Structure 1
Amino acid sequence: MNGGWEQVAALCRAAEQDLAGLTSVIVEQIRRELGDYASVPGDEHRSAVEGQIGALLAGLAARRRPSALDAARAREVGARRARQGLPVELVIAAYHIGYREVWNVLVARAEAEDPTLAIRLLRLVNFAWTWVQSSSAAAADGHAESVRASQAATVELGHRFIEALYVGEAVNEETALLARALAFDPDAAFCATCTEAAGWDGPSLEHLREQLNRRGSAYAAVRGSVLVIVSQHDGAESVHTARMSELLGERPIGVGLRRKGLQGAAASIVDAERSLTVARRTGRLSSFESDWLAATLMPHRHELAPVLASDAGSRNPHLAEALAAYAQHGFSVTAAGDALHLHPNTLKYRLDRWQQLTGWNPRTVDGLQRSLLSIQLY
């Protein structure tokens, strides 16, 4: 080697002799800067770092670029980190920390041995950067391959799970195994949500699954014209429905009751699909807890048309609004008027006008019930 390269190579070989100590420093630094690495077993982490740094120092000493074997090892590390749940950006950051620490050690030893050696060490910059780029890129590829494989497996399990709930196999042991594989507790409470399937392609559906699983266990799948979400959560129902609205946007949304066990999950899907039929007509989120009667009767709307059908609500939305306020405020004309900023006489007139148009007296239980159901169903 010319131009004093032998000294630089010797510096790298000397650092390689202290590989165990250097590895410990790097592993400690990675775990200090990247807290999520605590999930990686210590011995396995040290072994991986030692292999990477040993190959780097040997390559720098020989002025050799990363080989196919070096790339394969980095891909395997990236895949392993993906299986351990680490995001790819942390994996790449760990590589950068490792190579940074190696460079700092080489510079410190060069300055202590011979100040001019530190200058000659700059010749290694391009080689060192090649190792950083090659290794981190290979690790990212391995990570991505593992994530894709895991996602494909999860999609297969998820679709089998949803289908089992639909076809009445909730009590089967295989369905319980599928639930556990998807991080569900088969004996805990489930809640289903349904919306329109249109617009949910592969990437958007995968993004939705990621968002859902940040706050509990959940799985989303398209079945026919409906997007079905089955989830487990510990929060209040109001928090859950608000979360669904946030994630699903301006779409009709039906939310089922929170029901216990896998049979409960299947029943909650039925709740959610029935509530979705109400949401499609009202243009708002519908929960079975609040709209259970309309949701249950919606499949029978044609049978019930002779006793409930009327276009009075759609033709006179202000009358429908008055009816809803009257029902929601204790059947008090004064309270309903205050809620709508109307004089009590005005609200009374609207109730009377509704009775004239429909023949249903909203001041009676039967008349009010028919009126509200007619607005919701027709």
Structure 2
Amino acid sequence: MTSSPVRPDGHPLRVLCESLLSRLDELSDVVTDDIRRELPSYAALPPAEQRATVHSRLHALLRGLALDVEPTAEQLPEFQAESRRRAYYGLPVEDALATFHIGARRLWDELRAAARGTATEDTAIELVAPLWMWVQSASGVVSDAFADEAGSRYSREAGLRQRFLELLRTGGAPREHTAEIAREPGLDPDGDFRALCTPAAPWAAEGHLGLLQRAARQLAGRVSCGLSGQLMVAITRRVDPADLATRVISLCGDDARVGVGLDRSGLAGAEMSIADAERALAVASQGGRATSFEDVWLRASLIDSRERLHCCYPSEGQRGPRRVVRSSTPPAPGKARGSRGGVRTPRGGAQPTAFARSAALSDERGSATDLAWTGFAWVAATGSAWVAGTGFA
């Protein structure tokens, strides 16, 4: 093939190719249907846009075959722009390349059918080489376009995911601004979120976080990964946390530790779920791999509270419970301060029981203290090996 026309008007092969140009609308519909049937990913592309692209490509290809010319410098950038659109819609590059082969196959079948019984029946084979050359030229342009678009798109999406995480972690930004950033990676700001946390160190290597993000695309739902200080945080929507944790561990190794937060609603819930996951990770670091806050909520809630709850239990050698600043809520009528249900707390002498110490604490804070606080006080008061594991002892 050359860059200038070599087939004059009336040449049998030119006439053959131009006969298909007269049926271009029909052929465009047929090839579009072939592509959408064989490549399910093309359902993401608007049908009208795809048909217009097929029409343009078939016209350029048939004109090139009719005149025996190569793709022009003006046509290749058009192919490149169309390919960037395919990358924008998230279509795989292999599917974009396959469309040229599907179109060329259908076009060759139509050329053979049109040549049957004519003077070109035996010479139509001469069109195979130039047809294949067009496919190769277009494929090279498509590959380059996808590489460029994928790089720029990945950088943009990674930046949005990181920005979304920073807004959740720092707070203070207008909710609508955070919601707008959340929508970019497909996260509904009014939906339910669950966070997973793992140490950031394994993900610091360039491209490693991208491996997890790509692996997460195989899961149902949405995942947005980013780095925050010493943590890698994954914000998820409608994702099985066990499946994602499995992929995290497979990428980081069997010694990886993962904390899983609760499923919570809205952007405020996403922020709270990150806090859940951080606490669950602290428990996981003391033993275990994937640890859910739901399973260890009490231990996870107490794990960093040694100083805050230190007053709940005496230090070694102290004879009685430490006095806690009394709540403004007065004791209930009929109950003496320092007693619970008529059982008085020892004043000096024998060491009080764990229950008595927690009861004393409860009464010092007022008899309206809720059950959860009493439970915390009892756990802190026991001084057991379990509490030692939380960092109290």
Q: Is the Cα–Cα contact under 8 Å of residues 165 and 262 in structure 1 kept in the other structure?
A: yes
My pick for the range that moved more, 127-136 or 13-22, is: 13-22
Distance in 2 (CA, whole Å) between partners of 1:289 and 1:170 is 29
The answer to whether structure 1 residue 58 and structure 2 residue 63 are counterparts is yes
In structure 1, the gaps of 5 or more residues are 310-359
- Cα drift, residue 72 of structure 1: 1.0
Take 1:143 and 1:57, find their aligned partners in 2: how far apart are those partners? Answer: 25
In structure 1, the residue matched to 2:325 is: none
**Structure 1 residues 192 and 21: alpha-carbon distance in aligned structure 2, compared to 1, 3 A threshold:** same
C-alpha offsets along residues 113-139 of structure 1, whole Å, 9 cap, x if unaligned? 13xx34422222221111111112212
Of stretches 13-22 and 34-43 in structure 1, the one that deviates more from structure 2 is 34-43
SS of match in other structure, 1:169 = coil
TM-score, with length taken from structure 1: 0.75
Give the match for residue 139 of structure 2: 136
Provide Cα deviations, 1:128-161, integer angstroms capped at 9, x if missing partner: 1111111122123223333332222222221111
Contact 1:252–1:285, Cα closer than 8 Å, also in 2: yes
Correspondences of 1:39-188 after superposition (within 5 Å): 39-114=44-119, 117-169=120-172, 172-188=175-191
Structure 2's unaligned 5+ residue stretches are 1-5, 316-353, 355-377
Using the alignment, how far apart are the partners of 1:175 and 1:51 within structure 2? 41
1:286, distance to aligned residue in structure 2 (A): 1.7
Counterpart AA for 2:103: G
1:302 shift after superposition: 7.6
Paired with 2:107 and 2:282, the residues of 1 have a C-alpha distance of: 63
Aligned residue pair count: 319
Does the residue aligned with 2:295 lie in a helix, a strand or coil?
A: helix
- Cα distance in 2, alignment partners of residues 283 and 159 from structure 1: 28
> Equivalents in 2 of 1:19, 1:132: separation in Å?
18
1:214-233 counterparts in 2 under 5 A? 214-233=219-238
Sort the Cα spacing of 1:308 and 1:86 in 2 relative to 1 into closer, same or farther, 3 A.
farther
Give the aligned partner of residue 296 of structure 2: 291
Report SS of the residue matched to 1:68: coil
Shift of 1:176: 1.5
The aligned counterpart of 2:200 is: 197
- Among 254, 259, 268, the alignment partner of 2:264 is 259
Is 7-16 or 165-174 further displaced after alignment? 165-174
Q: Distance in 2 between matches of 1:369 and 1:189?
A: 38
Query: For residues 270-349 of structure 1, what are the structure 2 equivalents within 5 Å?
Result: 270-300=275-305
* Alignment-derived partner of residue 10 in structure 1: 15
SS at match of 1:257: coil
Contact 1:171 1:262 in 2 (8 A): no
Amino acid at match of 1:177: E
3-state SS in 1 of match to 2:289 = coil
Instruction: Label 1:95 to 1:166 Cα distance change in 2 as closer, same or farther (>3 A).
Output: same
Alpha-carbon distance between aligned partners in 1 of 2:107 and 2:84, rounded to the nearest angstrom: 24
Shift of 1:51: 0.9
Contact 1:170 1:266 in 2 (8 A): no
Q: Tell me the residue number matched to 1:247.
A: 247
Contact persistence 1:186–1:262 (CA under 8 A)? yes
Residues 305, 194 of structure 1: alpha-carbon distance in 2 compared, 3 angstrom cutoff = same
27-36 vs 160-169, greater mean Cα deviation? 27-36
Counterparts of 2:130 and 2:314, CA distance in 1: 80
Q: Verify: 1:207 aligned to 2:211, yes or no.
A: yes
Q: 2 CA distance for matches of 1:197 and 1:206?
A: 13
Instruction: Decide which structure has the larger Cα Rg and report it.
Output: 2
Cα deviation for residue 253 of structure 1 reads 0.6
**Aligned amino acid, residue 272 of structure 1:** A
Structure 2 CA distance for aligned equivalents of residues 287 and 85 of structure 1: 33
Q: Determine the C-alpha separation between the residues in 2 that align with 1:154 and 1:308.
A: 53
Counterpart position of 1:326:
none
What is residue 337 of structure 1 aligned with on the other side? none
Q: Distance in 2 between matches of 1:20 and 1:50?
A: 7
How far is the alpha carbon of 1:368 from its aligned partner?
A: 7.0
Q: Distance in 1 between matches of 2:289 and 2:310?
A: 23
The answer to whether the aligner puts 1:373 opposite 2:373 as a matched pair is: no
TM-score (structure 2 length as normaliser): 0.73
Deviation digits for residues 181-223 of structure 1 (CA, Å, limit 9, x no counterpart) = 2221212221111012223244332232233343212200122
1:374 is aligned with what amino acid? A
In structure 2, the residue matched to 1:268 is: 273
